[in-house]
Amino acid sequence: MRTTLAVLTAVLAVGVVRADDDAAKAKAVVEKAVKAAGWEKNGANVSKTWTDKGALHLGENKLEYTGEWWFSGPDKYRFEVKVNFGGTDVTVTAVTNGEKSWQSAADQLETVTGDKLEYTRDQVYFQWVYTLTPLLTEKGFTLKPIDGVKVNGNETTGVEVTHKDRPTVKLYFDAKTGLLSKAETKVKNEIDDWKEATDELVISEWKEGADKKKHPTKSTLTRGGTLFVESEQSGHKFVDKVDEKLFAELK
C-alpha cells in the first residue's frame, strides 16, 4: 500500500510540474507578442478606441460599412457603424456594459437578451483577450501551448486560453515577429438561428501607429468556413479611460 501511494504521489507531482511548465511556456509566447507590439504598459483593464471600414458578407450580399469602436476592459464595448443597405445608409449603435446590452438601428431600440446577449458578451470578452496583457496578470485565465498552424504562409506558435464560463480561445502568433496572426473560437451564429460555428480571425497586417505602438490594420473573419467580415482598421489609440457616458443605456 505504501509503495502504491508513493508511486501515485510521484505521478501527481510530475503532472503538476508539467502543467506549470506548460503554463510558463505559453505565458512566454504572450509576453513576446506584447513586447513586439509595444503594449507592455497597457495593463489588465486596457481601454482603446479605433475606426474601421470594410464589408459584411451575408449570403450573396456584400454590405459595406464604416464605423467607430470604443472598448474598456474587461466588459464595456460600444460601436457606431454606418452600413449601406441597397444604397441606403443605416446607422447601427450597440453598447454592452457588463451583463447588459442595447442596440439601435433605423430608430428601433432593443434591449438585448437571450442567445444574442450571450453572443454579445462573448464578443466583448474576445476583445479583452485580444488585448493580451490581461492574460499575463489577471486571475482566472489558464494558458497552455498548442500546436501552431500556418497563417498567411508563415509558421505560428499556438496558445490556448481558457476561462471559467467563457469560450475557449486559440491564439496563434507569428513565429518570427511574435505578433498575433490568428484567433479561433466557437460562437453562437447570429445569422444561422444561433447554431454553434467556428470563428476564425486572421490578421494580415500590422502597422505602427502615431503612439509608436503596433496595431492590427487588416483582417478577415470567417464563420463556419465562410467569409463573414473584411476589415481595415485605423486610428488605434490606447487611452487611460473611455468616457463612461459612452457605455450608458441607449435611449
The 10s digit of each residue's pLDDT in 44-55 is 789 999 999 999
Q: What is the C-alpha separation between 183 and 137, in angstroms, rounded? A: 20
Cell numbers for 250:
441607449
Higher pLDDT, 14 or 245: 245
Residue 17 has pLDDT above 60, yes or no: no
Residues spanned by the domain of 135 = 2-247
Q: How far is CA 196 from the centre of its chain?
A: 17
The pLDDT value given to residue 174: 97
State how many domains the chain has.
1
Cα separation of 225 and 18, whole Å?
A: 35
Region for 106 from its dihedrals, namely left if φ exceeds 0, alpha if ψ lies in -120 to 50, beta otherwise? left
pLDDT at residue number 151: 96
Look at residues 159, 138, 155 and name the one whose alpha carbon lies nearest to residue 32.
Answer: 159
* pLDDT above 60 for 15: no
Strand partners, 93: 80, 104
Q: What is the pLDDT of residue 10?
A: 63
Read off the pTM: 0.89
Length of the chain: 251
Decide if pLDDT at 43 tops 90. no
- Residue identified by cell 464578443 is 123
For cell 492574460, what's the residue? 135
Mean pLDDT of the region 98-119: 94
Instruction: Output the domain CATH number for residue 137.
Output: 2.50.20.10
| Alpha carbons 56 and 81: distance in angstroms, whole number | 12
- Residue 125's nearest CA partner among 80, 77, 78, 171 is 77
